[in-house]
Amino acid sequence: MPLDPQFRTILDHLGEKGLLPLVQGDAGQTRAHYRALSFSRRGPSFVPEPVASVSDQRSPQGVPVRIFEPCQPRGGTVVYLHGGGWVVGDVETHDPLCRRVANVTGARVVSVGYRLAPEHPFPAGLDDAEHVLRWVGEQRADEPVGVAGDSAGASLAAGLAVRARDQEIPLAAQLLFYPATDPSMASASYAENGKGYFLTRDDMAWFYRQYLPALDEAAETQEGLAYAEANLAYANVGRVAATVVATAEFDPLRDDGAAYADRLKNAGVRVEYVPGPGLIHGYAAFLGVVDAADANATEAMETFARLLRS
């Protein structure tokens, strides 16, 4: 189907204002740009979605987290990993999305302020996520724990699910919004959607260089397997947690998500696939702005909630 007309208007506006591409200079400049862009989506009359409570804390190892309690709790905890190419974003930029995840799923959401590249390349962010997952599991041993993320955060969530299986850390389900799973960037969707739809192929190439600086040298050797938690085309995904994969039609990462859903299914993992016709990368951050984004994100979250408690 064609690009959603509400997203067409948004993309035209962002282009006219010079707010694209996402990568603007070095890591520090791109972080500032991304933060400004994230807040611009909220508008002058923005009111945060109500939740029962919000608190900023630190895990025992000092990882910052923001904890959201849902308005109507139904049990369970979700460790949320924000997007931003492993380089940008934080608990503040993804505060609105985490509020929605909490209220739709009825689960406590623990948003992780993991370390960012290039100062802290792979596996630093994943190590932080593992630490928080273990901490949460110890606190709520009698409740299901899931992991969720968007974009680079979804890639971290998928890697964390692999690590949780290998290290026998309890994990009930994972929610992956448009995950990045193949650093080769060789799929058809990179060619079809590499320009003009918010996230570009050039953006992704830059993000990968920050996060996986040694991957090019390792990819052609057995050492490339050491990167399987990030380069998920190499990962053994058998017996990982039940998964919801949500993609967007006009997204360079569309085929990454679809292929990963197929790999999981072929490995015998329970998978629910939620395509995003007419949508762009990052659509879950446009809740309350684009009707189709609301509908798709809600479907993915509700499906995830069922898997979390099944």
118 in a structural domain: yes
Question: Are the C-beta atoms of 66 and 91 separated by less than 8 Å?
Answer: yes
Whether residue 48 lies inside any domain: the answer is no
DSSP letter assigned to residue 280: B
Distance CA 256, CA 139 (A): 34
Q: Is residue 52 part of a domain?
A: no
Cα separation, 39 vs 35, whole angstroms: 6
SS3 78: strand
Check: CB of residue 80 under 8 Å from CB of residue 153. yes
- The answer to whether position 279 is within a domain reads yes
Q: In angstroms, rounded to a whole number, what is the distance separating the alpha carbons of residues 274 and 297?
A: 9
pLDDT digits (tens, 9 = 90+) for 149-173: 999 999 999 999 999 999 999 999 9
In a domain, 123, yes or no: yes
If one counts the domains in the chain, the total is 1
What is the distance in angstroms between the CA of the first residue and the CA of the last residue of the chain? 33
Q: What are phi and psi of 270, to 5 degrees?
A: -70, 125
Structure confidence at residue 223 (pLDDT): 45
Residue 252, in any domain of the structure: yes
Q: What single-letter DSSP state applies at residue 250?
A: B
pTM of the model: 0.96
The catalytic site residues sit at 151, 251, 281
- The low-confidence residues of the chain, meaning pLDDT below 70, are 43-44, 216-226
Beta strands in the chain (DSSP E): 53-58, 64-69, 77-81, 108-112, 145-150, 173-177, 242-246, 271-274
Position 43 scores a pLDDT of: 64
- Measured CA to CA, the distance from residue 264 to residue 96 in angstroms comes to 29
Instruction: List the CATH number of the domain containing 164.
Output: 3.40.50.1820
The burial class, CB within 10 Å (0-12 / 13-18 / 19+), for 169 is: middle
